[in-house]
Structure 1
Amino acid sequence: NNAGLTVHLDGHYLKKIPIPKISTSDQQPFIKLVDKILQAKKNGKNTAALEAQIDTMVYQLYDLTADEIKIIEDKD
């Protein structure tokens, strides 16, 4: 059965997701890493280390504790 599932997200609930606002200059390290990942993937290279760097940057952005990070990483 190839029935498709769709998800409806209500704007009311989306507004409750805590997404930090960061300056353009603070976005630059993320942008550079994403560009490196895209280039590496295009060349068939492993990007796990670069993706882990982004994970670490996001953890810092959200000011997560070691326990919170462990919960996230254990779900992988």
Structure 2
Amino acid sequence: MKTIVTIIFIIFLSFTAQAQNTINDVKVDTIEMSIVKEVTIKETSNQKMEVARLYKYKNSKIKKALNFITKANKPKMA
């Protein structure tokens, strides 16, 4: 009985899905654009050079400031 009701329910759902009015005629407005053949490149002579600093020595001030250790990080004896 359960299988017959399930099959009838599936058939009913398939018929209702096919009976829906779907509109597939969607028109899209297209835009035509021309190709630009002239390309101008403007070079600027005021280019700024930025330099990243690398510290050669292990004990530099910045590396010491970045590698700080708090008291909570130290291991405790149990």
What TM-score do you get using the length of structure 2 for normalisation?
Answer: 0.23
Higher helix share: 1
Higher RCO (CA-CA < 8 Å; seq separation 6+): 1
Larger-Rg structure: 2
